A = this chain, B = another copy of it.
Amino acid sequence: MLQAKNADLRNLDAVAKRAGVSTATVSRVLNNLNMVKNSTRARVLRAAEELKYHPNLHARSLARGKSRTLGILVSNMENPFFFDIYRALESAAHARGYEVVVANTDYSSEQLVSSVRLMIGWRVAGLAAIVSEMDSHLMQMLTDSKIPIVFYDVGTPQKNITNVRVDYRKGMKKIVEYLHSLGHTRMAFLGHHSTLGPISERRKTFLETVARFSPSTEGQIVAAADGLEGGRQAARELLSSGFQPTAILCVNDFMAVGVLRHLRDQGIRVPEDVSVTGFDNIKLAEFCSPALTTVHIPRERIGQTIFGNLVPDQASDRLSGQEILIDPELVVRESTGVVRQTQALENRQPSNSGLQPRC
C-alpha cells in the first residue's frame, strides 16, 4: 500500500534517523543485544523516547518467525472453574516471559473452530484448549498445524498434542457412594449440554453407580445451561417433574449455587430436606450457603501442568503425545447430610421415571 507520507510515522527508521544511526543499531538497542556502544545506546533510547516510539509487534513476530504468545481457549470464562485454570496458566506464562491471548467458546464447537483458526493465524507458540466441546475436523486441523497443543478434558493424544484429564468417573463415583452411605435413595443428576464429553462422562458414571445400588436407589436426570440461572432453571424442572430427590448431584459448583437458590425459594431446606453436591470446588462453593459438598479439582496444578507441556522446559522435556490423568478428591461441607427416615419415605409417589434419562 503506497501510503501518504504520514507526518507522524513512528517506526524504526524514524528513530534511526533521529539518532543518526541505522535501523539495525536501533533494533539491537531495543532488543538489548550488546555490541552497542553505551553512548549510541543512550542516543537511540532518547530518540525513541522523544518520538513516543512503540515497536510494531506484528512486524516483529513476522520478522522473528516465532512468537512468545500462548493461546488459551475456554468454554465458559464466567464459570470460575475455567477462570481459575486460565489464571494459573497465565501466571505461569508471564513468569516465563510469555504473553497470553484468551478466547471464550461458549461451549460452541463453531466458536471453538473459529477461535482455533484465529490462534493459528496468530502463529501462537502453543495452544491450550480447556474446553468441553469438540469438532470432528478439529483434531486433524490441529495436528496439521504442528503447534504444540494441550487439551484439557477432550481430544486424543497425537504427535504434537498432549492431553490432561481428570478422572471424573472416580469423582462422581465417590459422590454417589458417599450419598448412598448417608441413606439417599432418590438421586438426581443435574447437568448442562448433555452431548459434551466430559459432562456426559459424569452423567454416565452417575447412572452406572446408581444402578449398582438398584433397586433400592433411583436416579433421574435434568439439564439446563451452565451458570447460576441454569442451575435454578434445572432445579425448577426437576422439582416439577414429580421425581422427589433426596439428593441433587450437580455437574459443577456454579450450577449448584443456582440450585440452592431455587430450593431456598421453595422453602426446601438443605441438607435437612434434600442434599446437594457440586463439582470442581470453586471458591464460591465455600462461600455459598450452605457451603457445598463437592469434589476438588486442582485447577492451579492443572494450569501449571498445561503450561509445562506447552513450553519446552530447558531441563525436562515435554510429555508430548501423552495423556496425563489427575485424581479428584471428595470435599464434604454443609450441603449434604444423613437422610431422615421421614424424608426417605414421605413423598413416595408414582415415580415412573426410574433410571430413564429425560434430557
Using a CB–CB cutoff of 8 Å, the interface residues on chain A facing chain B are 1, 3, 8, 52, 54-65, 77-78, 80, 83, 87, 90, 99, 101-102, 104, 117-118, 120-123, 141, 144-146, 227-229, 232, 257-258, 260-261, 264, 283-284, 286-289
Contacts and interface: CB of A to CB of B under 8 A. Distances in A.
Contact of A289 (B52, B102, B284, B289): B289
Given A101-B101, A102-B102, A288-B289, A62 B59 contact: yes
A186 B8 CA distance: 58
A22 to B, nearest CB: 17
A272 to B, nearest CB: 15
A194 to B, nearest CB: 23
Nearest to A1: B65
Contacts of A99: 118
Number of copies: 2
4 interchain residue pairs of minimum CB distance = A57-B121, A289-B289, A58-B58, A52-B144
A58 B287 contact: no
A227 B104 CA distance: 22
Nearest to A102: B102
A121 B55 contact: yes
Q: A interface, by DSSP: helix, strand, loop or mixed?
A: helix
Contacts of A60: 121
B121 A64 contact: no
A167 to B, nearest CB: 27
Nearest to A258: B287
Nearest to A101: B101
A179 to B, nearest CB: 22
Contacts of A56: 62, 121, 123
A319 to B, nearest CB: 24
A83 B146 CA distance: 33
A64 B62 CA distance: 14
A130 to B, nearest CB: 15
A58 B52 contact: no
Nearest to A83: B78
A227 B284 CA distance: 10
Nearest to A6: B65
Nearest to A143: B52
A257 B260 CA distance: 15
A261 B287 CA distance: 6
Contacts of A117: 54
Contacts of A83: 77-78
